[in-house]
Structure 1
Amino acid sequence: MQISFSDLLALTSPLRVLYVEDDVVLRENTIALLRDLFGEIHEASDGKEALMLYQEHQGNYDIVITDLNMPQMNGMDLIRNIQIINPKQPIIVVSAHNETEYFLESIRNNVNGYILKPIDFNQLMETVYKVASLVKERQEKAKNQIQLQEKIEEQNQLLAQNSQTVHEFLTIDKVTKLQNATVLYNFLDTFVQDHALTIMLYNIDNFSFINQTYSTDFADEALFKVGEYLQYNLSKEVHLYRYNSDEFVIIFDPQIINPEFVAIQIQAFFRETPIGEYEGQPIYITLSCGIATAQNPALLLPNARIALREARMRGIPNQYNIYNTHDAFLKQTKIETEWIQKFRIAMEDDRIIPYFQPIIDNATGEIVKYECLARIEDDGEIISPAHFLEAARRSGLMSNLTRLMINKSYKTFSGQNVAFSLNITNEDLLNSNFIDFLQAKQKSYNIEPSLVTFEILEDIIISDTNQIPLNNLHILKDMGYLLALDDFGSDRSNFNRLENLGVDFLKIDGQFIKNIDTITRNQDIVESITTMAKKLNMPVIAEFVSTKEEFEMVKQLGVEYSQGYFFNAPLKLPIHHEQ
Structure 2
Amino acid sequence: MNKYKQLQKESSALNILFIEDDEDLRLQSEKIFKTLFNQVDLATNGEEGLEKYLKFYEEKNFYYDIVITDIKMPKKNGIELTKDILKINKDQDVIVISAYEDSKYLIELINLGVNNFVQKPLLIDQLVEPLLSISKKINNSKEASEKVFLIENFVWDKEKKALIKKGKEVKLSSSETILLNLLINNPYITFSNEDIYNTIYSDKFDKELSIDSIKSLIKRIRKKIPTDMIKNIYGEGYRVNKDVFVDI
* Cα pair 2:70 2:97 within 8 Å, conserved: yes
1:73 Cα deviation from its structure 2 partner: 0.3
Report the structure number with the largest CA radius of gyration.
1
- SS in structure 2 opposite 1:162? strand
Aligned length: 166
* Cα pair 1:68 1:95 within 8 Å, conserved: yes
Structure 2 Cα separation of the partners of residues 86 and 150 of structure 1: 30
- SS in structure 1 opposite 2:9? helix
* Cα pair 2:17 2:67 within 8 Å, conserved: yes
- Partner in structure 1 of residue 217 of structure 2: none
Structure 2 Cα separation of the partners of residues 123 and 139 of structure 1: 26
The partner residue of 2:186 within 131, 142, 153 is 153
Determine whether 1:125 maps to 2:128: yes
* Cα pair 2:190 2:236 within 8 Å, conserved: no
- Partner in structure 2 of residue 162 of structure 1: 232
Aligned identity (percent) is 29
Deviation per residue, 1:310-352 (Å, 9 max, x gap) = xxxxxxxxxxxxxxxxxxxxxxxxxxxxxxxxxxxxxxxxxxx
- TM-score (normalised: structure 2): 0.59
Structure 1 Cα separation of the partners of residues 121 and 9 of structure 2: 26
> Per the alignment, do residues 88 and 4 of structure 1 end up closer, same or farther by CA in structure 2, a change over 3 Å counting?
same
* Cα pair 1:95 1:114 within 8 Å, conserved: yes
Determine whether 1:76 maps to 2:89: no
Structure 1 Cα separation of the partners of residues 27 and 89 of structure 2: 27
Structure 2 Cα separation of the partners of residues 12 and 150 of structure 1: 33
> Per the alignment, do residues 135 and 112 of structure 1 end up closer, same or farther by CA in structure 2, a change over 3 Å counting?
farther
> Per the alignment, do residues 155 and 47 of structure 1 end up closer, same or farther by CA in structure 2, a change over 3 Å counting?
closer
Aligned partner letter, 2:90: P
Structure 1 Cα separation of the partners of residues 48 and 119 of structure 2: 23
> Per the alignment, do residues 71 and 155 of structure 1 end up closer, same or farther by CA in structure 2, a change over 3 Å counting?
closer
Aligned partner letter, 2:65: D
Structure 2 Cα separation of the partners of residues 150 and 27 of structure 1: 48
> Per the alignment, do residues 45 and 124 of structure 1 end up closer, same or farther by CA in structure 2, a change over 3 Å counting?
same
* Cα pair 2:69 2:78 within 8 Å, conserved: yes
5+ residue gaps in structure 2? 149-156, 159-180, 192-228, 238-248
Q: Which has the higher contact order (CA 8 A, sep 6+)?
A: 2
* Cα pair 1:93 1:113 within 8 Å, conserved: yes
> Per the alignment, do residues 163 and 109 of structure 1 end up closer, same or farther by CA in structure 2, a change over 3 Å counting?
same
- Partner in structure 2 of residue 36 of structure 1: 35
- SS in structure 2 opposite 1:98? helix
After superposition, where does 1:205-284 map in structure 2 within 5 Å?
none
After superposition, where does 1:30-69 map in structure 2 within 5 Å?
30-58=29-57, 59-69=62-72
- SS in structure 1 opposite 2:35? coil
> Per the alignment, do residues 166 and 68 of structure 1 end up closer, same or farther by CA in structure 2, a change over 3 Å counting?
closer
- Partner in structure 2 of residue 85 of structure 1: 88
- TM-score (normalised: structure 1): 0.27
> Per the alignment, do residues 162 and 91 of structure 1 end up closer, same or farther by CA in structure 2, a change over 3 Å counting?
same
* Cα pair 2:18 2:43 within 8 Å, conserved: yes
Superposed CA RMSD: 2.8
Structure 1 Cα separation of the partners of residues 116 and 135 of structure 2: 10
1:87 Cα deviation from its structure 2 partner: 0.8
Deviation per residue, 1:237-277 (Å, 9 max, x gap) = xxxxxxxxxxxxxxxxxxxxxxxxxxxxxxxxxxxxxxxxx
